[in-house]
Structure 1
C-alpha cells in the first residue's frame, strides 16, 4: 500500500496529535527498524511512504483534526484535502480524543475515530481501536494467557472510577446540556454528547452486580481517575496500574462501560489480557465490524438491557465448560493480536477501503 503525508505539517511539540500509523515512522534517524518492530510491531517494509502524492494510493492528514482546529490551521488541512480530492486519492483524517468534531461537507475524507455514536455517523466514518502496549508482556513478562478454573459463580472484575451520587450525576448532565447548547449556538465546536452521566452509569452497574449473590465481584472502586495519583509519581502510578491489570487478570469477565467519550479503552485492555469484556453498548462504534463478529468475543449488553446485566453474564457463562471458557480467553487475545494492533488493523482497513 502506497502512502503519502505532508511532512511539513508535523509538529514535534504536539506529537500526541500525530496520526497513529505515522508514529513508528516519524522518528530520529538513529531509530532502527529493529526498535520499530519492538516498540510498535511494525517494520519499514510493512508500509511504503512516497515523496510524491501522485504515486500514492492513500493520503494521510499528518495531525489530528483537533490539532488543526486548536492551532488555527484548518485552512492548511482543507487545502491539502482538496488537492488530494482533485487527484482522486482518498484522505485519512484522525478525530482524536473524547469529543467528535464537524468536518466540512465539501471535504471528501475517510474519518478514523475511537469514539462516536453509531446511529449518527455515515459510512465515511470508521471505528479505530485504542492502540495499547502489550500489557501481558510489559507487566507480566509473558504473552501466554493464564487459564482459570471454571466456577458456577463467574468472577466479574472492575477497577476504576464510579460515583453513585445522584447530585453529581445531575451536575454532569447539566454540564453536557450546556456544552450541547453552546455547540448549537456555534460557540463550541465539539459535537453534542448524549445526556448521560458515565460515572453514575458505571456505579449503578457496579453496585447492581455487587449486590447479586449469583456472581462473585472483584471490584476496586476509585473516587478519582487513576485513584487521583499524579502521573509524575512513578512509584504510585505503577502500583495503581498494576492493581488495574491484576484486577482484569484475576477475573473471568470485566465490566466495560464508556467514559467521557462514547468508547471504552478497557475493552481493548481486557481483550489483550485474554479475558471476556462485558460490553455495555451505548450506541458505540467498534473497529472492523465487517470482519469481526463482536458478539462472539464479549457479553453484549444493550444500554436498554443494562438492568439485566447479571442475567446476561449468567446466560453466557452457563453455556461454557472450563475448556470453552479458557478457549474464549485465547480467542479474545488472538483477536487483539491479529486485528486490533497497529499493523494488522491498518493493513486490513486500507485493503478493505481500497
Structure 2
C-alpha cells in the first residue's frame, strides 16, 4: 500500500494535530530510523510514501480536521477531497480532541476518530486507538507483563479523577448543555455531547463496585484530572502511581472522560490487565478484526447498577489457565493491533 500526503499542509506549530501515521516521518533529518522504531514502533521500511498523488493507493490529509477548522482552511480541505474523489483514491482523515466537529459527506473518505457516538455516526467514521508509549518499557524496563494468578476474589483497580462533588458536576453539565445549544443554533460546528459529568459518574460506578461482596477494590480517588500536577516531577510521580495501581490489580475500570472514549482502555491492555469497559455508545477501533468482548468485561451504560455481578460472573467463568492467557492475549492485542502498525 502506498501513501501520499500534501507536505505543504504540515504545520509544525500544531504538530499534535498531525495525522498519527505521519508523525514518525515528519521529523528532522538527524532523526534516525532506529530512533523512529524505538519511539513509535514503526520503521520507514514498513511504510511506502509517494510524491505523486495519482501514484498512491491511499491519500492522507496531513493535519486533523480540527486543525483546518480552527485555522479557517476548510476550503483547502474540500478542494483536496474533491481531487481525490475524482481520482477515486481512498482518503484518510483524522478527527482529534474530545468533541467531534461536523465533517462533510464524502463517500471515498475514511474518517478516523477516538470520540463520538457509534449510533449517531455513519459507518465510514471508524475508531482510532489512542496511541501510547509502552508503559512496561517506560516504567518497568521490561517487555513481559506481570502475570497475576487466578484467585477467587479478584482485585479491581482504578486510579484517577473521580469525585462526588455535586457543584462541580452541575457546572460541567450546564457547560455541556450550553455548548449543545450553540450547535443547534448553528453558532458552532462541535457535535452535541451527552450531558454527563464524567468524574462524578465514574465515582458512582466505583462506589457500586466497592459495595459488591466478593470483589477487592484498589481505588485511588483523585479530586482533579491527573491529580492536579503542576510540574514534570509531579506528573511523573502521579503516572507511576497510576501504573503501579494497574500492576497490583486484576481488572481495571475503564470509563469515558470528557470525550466519549477511554485512554485507560489502551493503557490497561498494554499492561496485560483486563478492562472493565463501560460502553457509552463508543466508536471502538478495528471492530472488523477485533472481538472486543473477548478481551474486556463488557458493561453497557444502563447496566451499571449490576456492574459488580457482571464482573463476578465474568471472573467465575475463568480458570487458572484462561485467566493468565487473557492477560497475555490483551498485551498481545495492544502490541499487534493497537499501535501505529495497526493502521497499515
Scaled to the shorter chain, the TM-score interval is: over 0.9
Q: Distance in 2 between matches of 1:254 and 1:188?
A: 36
User: Is the Cα contact below 8 Å between 1:82 and 1:107 reproduced in 2?
Assistant: no
- In 2, Cα distance between equivalents of 1:55 and 1:237: 45
The SS at the match of 1:337 is: helix
**In 1, are the aligned partners of 2:136 and 2:143 still within 8 Å (CA)?**
yes
TM-score using structure 1 length: 0.95
Aligned residue for 1:278, secondary structure, equals strand
Q: Give deviations 1:167-226, integer Å, cap 9, x for gaps.
A: 332332222111111001111221001122211110101111123332111010000011
Shift of 1:239: 0.7
Q: Secondary structure at the match of 1:45?
A: helix
Aligned to 1:248, which of 246, 249, 263?
246
Partner of 1:21: 21
Q: Offset at 1:54?
A: 0.5
**Is 1:92–1:111's contact at 8 Å kept on the other side of the alignment?**
yes
Asked if the contact 1:81/1:107 (under 8 Å) is kept, the reply is: no
Q: 2:89 maps to which residue? A: 89
Residue in 2 that maps onto 1:295: 293
Q: Which residue of 2 aligns with 1:237?
A: 235
Give the C-alpha shift of residue 150 in structure 1. 2.1
Distance across 1 between alignment mates of 2:319 and 2:245: 22
5+ residue gaps, structure 2, are none
The equivalent position to 2:263 in structure 1, one of 262, 265, 271, is 265
Residue pair 2:88, 2:108 contacting (<8 A) in 1 also:
no
Paired residues of 1:78 and 1:107 also in contact (CA < 8 A) = no
The secondary structure found in structure 2 opposite 1:213 is coil
The corresponding residue for 2:206 is 206
Deviation of 1:313 (Å): 0.6
Distance 1:171 1:35 in 2: 45
8 Å CA contact 2:89, 2:108 repeated in 1 = no
SS at 2:190's partner residue? coil
Q: CA-to-partner distance for each residue in 1:41-95, whole Å, 9 max, x for gaps?
A: 1111111110100000010000000000111111111111111111111111110
User: What is the distance in 2 between the residues matched to 1:107 and 1:285?
Assistant: 19
RMSD across aligned positions (CA): 1.1
Q: Hey, what's the Cα distance between the residues in 1 that align with 2:239 and 2:272?
A: 17
CA–CA separation in structure 1 for the residues paired with 2:254 and 2:98: 16
Choose 24-33 or 62-71, whichever is displaced more: 24-33
In structure 1, runs of 5+ residues without a counterpart are 348-354
Q: Indicate the larger mover: 256-265 or 82-91.
A: 82-91
Deviation >6 Å, runs of 4+: none
CA distance, structure 2, for counterparts of residue 138 and residue 202 of structure 1: 27
Aligned to 1:307: 305
Q: Which residue of 2 aligns with 1:351?
A: none
CA change 1:158–1:82 in 2 (3 A) is: same
DSSP-derived class of the 1:170 partner: helix
- The question of whether the paired residues in 1 share the 8 Å contact of 2:128 and 2:285 is answered with yes
State the alpha-carbon separation in 2 of the partners of residues 208 and 123 from structure 1. 34
Q: Which residue of 1 aligns with 2:41?
A: 41
Are 2:71 and 1:74 equivalent residues in the alignment?
no
> Does the Cα contact within 8 Å between 2:147 and 2:324 map onto a contact in 1?
yes
SS in 1 for 2:45: coil
Match of 2:343 in 1: 346
Q: Distance in 2 between matches of 1:249 and 1:228?
A: 22
The Cα of 1:107 is off from its aligned counterpart by 7.3
Q: Please give the TM-score of this superposition, normalised by the length of structure 2.
A: 0.98
